Chains A and B, each alone.
Chain A
Amino acid sequence: MKRATPALIVLALALLPLLGMEPRVYLTLTVAGLAMGMLIFLVASGLTLIFGLMDVLNFAHGALFSWGAYAGFSAVLLLNRGAGWVESPSVWLNTLALLAAVAAAVLVAFALGVILERVIVRPVYGQHMFQILITLGATIVLEELIRIVWGPNDQVMPVPASFQGSWDVMDVIVLRVPAIAIGMGLAVYAGLLLLLHRTRVGLIVRAGVESGEMVQVMGHDIYRYFTGVFALGSALAAVGGLMWAVFRQSVSPAMGGEQLIFAFIVVIIGGLGSVTGSLVGALMVGLSYNYVAFLLPKAALGVNMTLMVLVLLIRPTGLFGASR
């Protein structure tokens, strides 16, 4: 019962806006909020691994987000120019194009993640201040590289033809891209839970976070696992970036910056290291933003911050955080 309390509170709060609007509007907003929350979760899930689990303050997460978006952007452009997969009306070709973009984003970000972890993060494990500084430096470099390779201006992200527009389910408007994002977010959530709690790799990583030396004594190369986790987190950031770019239909070099703050807020609300926590946190942020933006447009800007402050006041370790 005690473990379910936060979930109940969240449910009660989610139903609260019904007092101020029609049910149909409420449903539309809820779907939009869920979608936004899932998009945020895609980014935050990577940060949960890197910041929550490994305790590395990775400010380069935003830059990896942008890199993922740009890698996918290039893949989609190439496919469209070469084979016309994006503009073709065929659902299958469209899906393939999107999958290819996701694969490109994941590959690029995974490689970048391995390099980042090996070169600049490994020497500063356990030193928060240096992690912040050095990943900030990496962010500057990565963002500038984007500006050099792809140019400094915003560009239009082509969206596969069958994913444009929206479905109308009983007067509730469901945009297609966010609907795909919701599916992806759920898949990532399930995958992460399985990986962390049902596999040997997950066991070793979780043990390695608790006591790295002990795991090494048992004969596991803990650093290799950490490199893997970091790269996985980077890849998740890239997927988030790509979906965000598809959702917004544009890419820009600095797009990762504001998302990074969102992601940090979500990870803190959810509790460090808890995947479920960041899912709930992301949904809370997404939903409350949409409700408040409808009811009191001016107040929407401060809603995330208020949410974080409130959660930290009530539960200093976050919603699902273990009290370490």
Chain B
Amino acid sequence: MTTPVGTARRADRARRWRQPTVWLRLLALGLFAVVPLVIPSFQATDLAIKIAIFGALVASYDVVIGYTGIVSFGHAMFFGFGAYAVALSVGRFGAPTYGHLLLGFLIGMAVSAAIAVLIGAFSLRVKLIFFAMITLAFAEFAGILAVQWSSLSGGEDGLSPKLPGVFAIAYDGGRILGIPVTGKLVTYYFVLAVCAALFLVMARFVASPLGRALQAIRDNELRAEALGVPTFKLQIVSSSFASVVATIVGGCYVMWVRYVNPESALGVPLMLDVLLMVIIGGIGTLWGGLIGAAVLLTARLLLPDLRGLATLLGGSEIAQRLTERWLLVFGVLFVLVVFFFPKGVLGTAREGLARRRRAGAAQEG
């Protein structure tokens, strides 16, 4: 049976391998894959895998904010659930095994899904902005709980779990092609593979009929509802899906960093970072998350070095404070980006490309 959608999809599929975006994505994956082999410094490897981790987290947030049009402030909380579930399961029951690792991921996902459905069920009925506030309140509560319930979570000190088998720091797999295989390297590739897989799943999710229905809700909820789209149910499905993805990413984060505390994995600051990343990369682009994460994490790594500038400026106290507070520069930049590039890097680029293509088509025709 040929429906208009089916025809369009087939045309899309035929064009797939001729589009530059596919090759760009493969290139990005390739770059991530060679970083630990080519650049021996730990800092570079750490930056690369964190870009992959936060890129995936931001993309999952984009599913909620960009593709469904729901503003949530609790997304970092689900990341934290994943991080804590894995850290607890691996670290609290004697010698770690693969089973514990898997169990941690599964428990984290189950908890996240349950809480996401619960939050959605009583706050999405009313008004989207209530969802934002209730998720914010939940996130705050989770942060406080993690600090207070220190017998379980380790309080502010956090947890530093030891990973099993090939992921352990002490693991030595000899040399393959002259490169020493360490636990850290295995973890790197494992996390990279999980993030890549998550990206594929999310891309599939937003391009599916369900994803299209979500975008219809985002663009015009009343109309979508009139067309028979079960808006309330689909919004819950979308936010739960994104939460579960964020949970898996959180687990990966703990596997790489081997440490989790309330501030780094649960708090409002993390949520702000994710928001900034999604804006910089571009809302509603999914892959923009990688760009946003790359920009923010690199800036965070390099900008504090600006402190040397203070001596150039004469070393007065105000000048010194000014350079210490690179966040100020960042805040101004952020406001400017929101104003002048509300679609972010990737969104603006896509728009420019589409315009050129249209101009080209007009010339030919």
CB within 8 Å of B: which residues of A? 57, 120, 123, 128-130, 132-134, 136-141, 144-145, 147-148, 151-152, 257, 261, 264-265, 268, 298, 301-302, 304-305, 308-309, 312-313, 316-317
Contacts and interface: CB of A to CB of B under 8 A. Distances in A.
A298 to B, nearest CB: 8
Contacts, number: 93
A139 B137 CA distance: 19
Contact of B331 (A144, A264, A312, A313): A144
A140 B126 CA distance: 30
Contacts of B126: 312, 316-317
Contacts of A148: 318, 321-322, 325, 328
B232 interface: no
B125 A316 contact: yes
Interface residues of B, number: 40
A144 B134 CA distance: 27
Given A137-B334, A261-B140, A268-B130, A129 B325 contact: no
Given A123-B339, A298-B148, 19 more contacts: A120-B335, A128-B71, A130-B342, A132-B71, A133-B279, A133-B334, A136-B275, A137-B332, A139-B331, A140-B327, A141-B328, A148-B325, A148-B328, A261-B136, A261-B140, A265-B137, A268-B130, A301-B145, A305-B137
B335 A137 contact: yes
B222 interface: no
Contacts of A305: 137-138, 140-141
Contact of B134 (A133, A308, A317): A308
B214 to A, nearest CB: 16
Interface string B122-142: 110111111011101110110
A102 to B, nearest CB: 28
Contact of B275 (A57, A133, A257, A308): A133
B338 A137 contact: yes
Contacts of B129: 57, 128
Contacts of B283: 129
Contacts of B328: 140-141, 144-145, 148
A55 to B, nearest CB: 9
